[in-house]
């Protein structure tokens, strides 16, 4: 049985590993156009700093990722206690996000009018099956909550625009709680009571929970280990140009010739899979091409500790769009994980661009550095220019699950029913994070194993 996987990011690597764990005799080839594995998981060690070009870790709330780490003999590294302290920049200052109802009432991030408006959530009507994140939040919690809490969260996770994002596909848990309990507050109260009754230690929240987790040598540790296990099955520097049906099998047209396979897994980004599918199924190709991506640049500043006047005791901060700033936010990476900066230095990881300001991500180096420096100067007080600067541009950084995403998924699923042995996976479809990619790759391996009796 020959399997061809396109893309050696976390999805493709995990799918290959999971399939081999079911049947070691499978003939698997992974084609990767780049010269390295990992995709947007890329840890850059430079001048003593460890800069994450893209993904900086995963939440420890999903068993499959931790299980995979265990299989690979990896030791996940939980973020420090500092990471619990998170900030929103609003009204000219950093406001710590509250960790309890009492501290929330005492905080001045949200006005008293905004806090009182949130109580209406208890009787707010249910919304339609799907709606934008903005419509959902305004209806349930009010506009101030959207602008000061949810908008920066959308920027931090998706680099997205809540006025376009689908609540059902971006934050399915939140939509599920509304549908099941009629109120997010009521859901939290009910679940908290059940937690006490059954004496579980699970944290109850509508938002994503868990500790940010990575590895001592960066997020790339897991993709490097997967690639090492797969060995020569990965063909680097080989791009896939197209597919062709050949009886019950497939012909795979690559930059180095034609391969054939019983099973094809496209684990490449939707826009890349669209190009591969263009001459194979034009309608499916078009739908894949319609999944938008937000551009983001990651800008790492390394500083001698004494040149940053802020304590940096925390995870970092996000900035609401209404503040009119250029950066989306900054993570204090050296406060979150060890081994991110040399002794006596700190690492500040800044994001710029996103769905609302895509043009900023593609500014030239001087313009980006100037924008980040000026805004950090006013927020955390810097003494002089950074000692290290790295800019990592992603023209197509994060897929956007905008309204209509569910219809696209339905069309994709229906189309693939006509092509036995052809599958799509990756963060373009049902979850953008590492946890989602790993879990979906395992689900796909189970599905293939069942369909082909592996």
Looking at the chain, the whole-number percentage of residues with pLDDT higher than 90 is 91
110-208 has which fold?
A: protoporphyrinogen ix oxidase, domain 3 (1.10.3110)
Query: Considering the chain, what is the average pLDDT of its residues?
Result: 95
Q: What is the pLDDT of residues 212-238, one digit of tens each?
A: 999 999 999 999 999 999 999 999 999
Mean pLDDT of 91-114: 89
Residue 56 CA to residue 213 CA, distance in Å, equals 8
Res. 188 pLDDT band, cuts 50 70 90: confident
CATH 3.30.565.10 fits 293-399, yes or no: no
Q: With the C-alpha atoms ordered 18, 22, 25, 27, is the resulting torsion angle positive or negative?
A: negative
Residue 377, number of CB atoms within 10 A of its CB: 12
Mean pLDDT of 58-83: 95
pLDDT at residue 317 in the model: 98
Helices (H), 96-219: 101-106, 112-119, 133-140, 143-145, 151-158, 167-170, 172-181, 184-198
Strand order in the sheet with 77-78: 58-59, 212-214, 77-78
CATH number of the domain at 2-35+217-291+402-452, please? 3.50.50.60
Residues in the chain: 454
Residue 270 CA to residue 32 CA, distance in Å, equals 15
Q: What is the pLDDT of residues 277-316, one digit of tens each?
A: 999 999 999 999 999 999 999 999 999 999 999 999 999 9
| 3 state SS of 9 | strand
Q: In DSSP terms, which residues pair with 77 in a beta bridge?
A: 214
Res. 195 pLDDT band, cuts 50 70 90: confident
Res. 82 pLDDT band, cuts 50 70 90: confident
Res. 191: pLDDT tops 70: yes
| 3 state SS of 309 | coil
Measuring CA to CA, which residue among 443, 21, 450, 444 is closest to residue 230? 21
Residue 249 CA to residue 362 CA, distance in Å, equals 42
Res. 206: pLDDT tops 70: no
Domain ranges, ordered by start, for the chain: 2-35+217-291+402-452, 110-208, 293-399
Res. 373: pLDDT tops 60: yes
CB 250 within 8 A of CB 277: no
Residue appearing with tokens 């979150």: 336
| Spatial CB neighbours of 394, under 8 Å, sequence gap ≥ 6 | 40, 53, 54, 295, 296, 297, 298, 361
Residue 329 CA to residue 350 CA, distance in Å, equals 6
Mean pLDDT of 170-176: 95
Report pTM: 0.94
């Amino acid at each position: 049985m020959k399997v061809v996987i396109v893309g050696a990011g976390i999805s493709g690597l995990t799918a290959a590993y999971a399939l081999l764990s079911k049947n070691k005799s499978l003939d698997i080839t992974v084609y990767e156009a780049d010269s390295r594995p990992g995709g947007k998981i890329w840890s850059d060690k430079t001048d003593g700093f460890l800069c994450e070009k893209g993904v900086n870790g995963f939440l420890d709330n999903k068993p499959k990722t931790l299980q995979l780490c265990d299989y690979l003999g990896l030791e996940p590294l939980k973020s420090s206690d500092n990471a619990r302290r998170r900030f929103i920049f609003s009204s000219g200052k950093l406001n710590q996000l509250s960790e309890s109802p009492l501290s929330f009432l005492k905080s001045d991030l949200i006005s008293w009018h905004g806090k009182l408006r949130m109580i209406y959530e208890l009787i707010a009507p249910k919304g339609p099956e799907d709606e934008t994140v903005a419509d959902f939040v305004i209806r349930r919690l009010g506009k101030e909550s959207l602008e000061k809490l949810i908008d920066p969260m959308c920027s931090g996770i998706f680099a997205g625009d809540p006025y376009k994002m689908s609540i059902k596909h971006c934050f399915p848990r939140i939509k599920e709680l509304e549908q099941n309990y009629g109120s997010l507050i009521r859901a939290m109260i009910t679940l908290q009571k059940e937690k006490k009754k059954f004496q579980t230690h699970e944290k109850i929240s509508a938002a994503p929970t868990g500790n940010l987790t990575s590895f001592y040598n960066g997020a790339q540790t897991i993709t490097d280990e997967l690639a090492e296990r797969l060995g020569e099955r990965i063909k680097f520097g080989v791009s896939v140009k197209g597919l062709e049906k050949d009886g019950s099998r497939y012909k795979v047209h690559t930059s180095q010739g034609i391969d054939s396979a019983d099973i094809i897994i496209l684990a490449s980004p939707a826009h890349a899979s669209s190009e591969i599918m263009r001459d194979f199924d034009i309608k499916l190709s078009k739908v894949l091409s319609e999944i938008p991506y937000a551009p983001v640049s990651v800008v790492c500043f390394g500083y001698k500790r004494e040149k940053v006047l802020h304590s940096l005791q925390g995870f970092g901060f996000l900035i609401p769009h209404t503040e009119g700033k250029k950066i989306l936010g900054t993570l204090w990476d050296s406060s979150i994980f060890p081994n991110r900066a040399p002794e006596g230095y700190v690492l500040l990881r800044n994001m710029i661009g996103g769905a609302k300001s895509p043009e900023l991500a593609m500014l030239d180096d001087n313009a980006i550095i100037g924008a980040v420096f000026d805004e950090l100067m006013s927020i955390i007080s810097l003494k002089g220019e950074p000692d290290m600067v790295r800019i990592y541009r992603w023209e197509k950084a994060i897929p956007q699950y905008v309204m209509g995403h569910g219809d696209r998924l339905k069309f994709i699923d229906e189309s693939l029913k006509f092509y036995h042995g052809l599958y799509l996976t990756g963060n373009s479809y049902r979850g953008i994070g590492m946890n989602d990619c790993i879990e979906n790759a395992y689900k796909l391996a189970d599905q293939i194993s069942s369909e082909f009796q592996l």
